[in-house]
Every structure is written in C-alpha cells, then in structure tokens.
C-alpha cells in the first residue's frame, strides 16, 4: 500500500475535479495531494505525528507543504518551535528552511476540499494513505489530532472504535504504545471565535513534550 497518493489521484472525483479547476486558475500552485512533512532525521526519528484535516486552498494546496501559507500554520509552527519540535524560521513558504525534529505533519484528507469540508467518503477513501503513514513510523509515541474529523480518522486508522476514544480538546488516550492528544483545530475561525486560545493550544503540546520526555 502506497503511503502517498499519486499527484493526479482520481479516487475522490469531487476533489479531483476541484483541484483541476484550481490548476486552470493558478497554474503555478501545487494543486495536488499534499505529502507528509517528514522529520529532518528521517522516518526512523519520528516520535510525534500531527494529523490535520485537509489542505487549505491558499495554504497547503498552494505551497505543497502542510499548514504552510495560512493562519493555522502560523500558530502551529510557532508552537512547534517553542516546544522544540522544529528548528529554523517559519516563513510560510516551503523553501524557508524550517525542519521538523522527531515530528511529522500530515492531513487526514490529502486534497483540498471545496469550502474546507471533505465528505465522509473522501475521509474514508484517504485513510488508505493515513494508515500506512502512521505505520511507517516505527518509533511513534504520540499523535496530535487537530479537530474531530482528524481524530476519528486517526482512531479508525489504528483499527479502534471511535466510540471508545471520543474527541475532546485536551483529551488523552492510549492506543497500544501511542498516546493520542486531541486539540481543537488551530484554524482562524476557532481562534477568532475564542473556541481555541493560544494558551489552550500550547497546553496540548506542553503535555506532548512532557510525555515524550518521560518516555525517553
């Protein structure tokens, strides 16, 4: 099973057609499934995986790197730097030289969906890539799931029932040797409405850092 979809992945017709429209509008953009952002030390070094929802039209769909080019990336990458999960300066472009340390980032759905809302079949289809992505990290100790959809798809990718591992911001649960940390998505909507504050978001990663340090 391939870890990454093909650049012109046809599995979800609606998403395939939506990307085709953007290729016409913005031919210099990435406009394809967004691959996993891997740790600088390679797959073997991956201890933390962050699972988002899907690429934003003008974010990762444009730049080709998860959470790069929109507000959610500003908060996420700033937090990763603060807790030692990245090095270098995030400049919201894929050639900024930023490197992840023992950390990888992927989206539950690799292709940009209309209105940022993938449907159930698209989420299920893309799990054929999420599952082997998780499995390739043999030293994985923690997963941060950003939002309910990412959380549920991750739990299903780990072959567990969603009802047994419900989503809650700041929630933690263990599946085998992996601890799942769930957080509201770091979207501009969630932060603007106060559903997610910077302090709430950082508290999740403080817990992740403490867990990984204790397991070291």
pLDDT tens by residue, 35-87:
999 999 999 999 999 999 999 999 999 999 999 998 899 999 999 999 999 99
Structural domains of the chain sorted by starting position, each given as residue range(s) with its CATH number in brackets: 13-214 (3.40.470.10)
Task: Over range 153-165, report the average pLDDT.
Answer: 98
The pTM of this model reads 0.97
Q: Are 90 and 78 in contact (CB under 8 A)?
A: yes
What's the rounded mean pLDDT across residues 152-177?
A: 97
pLDDT of residue 2: 74
103 neighbors 48 (Cβ within 8 angstroms): yes
Contacts of 79 (CB under 8 A, 6+ apart): 201, 202, 205
Model confidence band, residue 1 (pLDDT cutoffs 50, 70, 90): low
Q: Give pLDDT, residue 20.
A: 98
CA-wise closest residue to 184 among 81, 53, 67: 53
φ, ψ at 57 (rounded to 5°):
-55, -50
């Amino acid at each position: 099973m391939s870890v990454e979809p093909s650049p012109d992945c046809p599995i979800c017709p609606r998403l395939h057609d939506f990307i085709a429209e953007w290729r016409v509008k913005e031919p210099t953009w990435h406009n394809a499934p967004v691959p996993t952002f891997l740790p600088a030390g390679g797959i073997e070094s991956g201890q933390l995986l962050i699972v988002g929802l899907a690429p934003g039209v003008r974010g990762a769909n444009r730049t080709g790197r998860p959470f790069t080019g929109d507000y959610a990336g500003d908060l996420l990458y700033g937090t990763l730097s603060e807790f030692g999960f990245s090095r270098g300066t995030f400049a919201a472009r894929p050639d900024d030289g930023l490197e992840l340390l023992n950390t990888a980032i992927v989206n539950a759905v690799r292709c940009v969906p209309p209105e940022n809302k993938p449907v159930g079949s698209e989420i299920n289809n893309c799990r054929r890539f999420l599952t082997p992505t998780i499995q390739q990290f043999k030293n994985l100790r923690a997963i941060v799931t950003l939002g309910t959809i990412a959380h549920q798809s991750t739990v299903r990718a780990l072959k567990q029932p969603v009802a047994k591992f419900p989503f809650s911001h700041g929630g933690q649960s263990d599946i085998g040797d992996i601890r799942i940390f769930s957080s509201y998505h770091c979207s501009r909507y969630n932060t603007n409405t106060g559903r997610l504050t910077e302090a709430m978001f950082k508290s999740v990663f403080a817990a992740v850092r403490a867990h990984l340090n204790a397991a070291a």
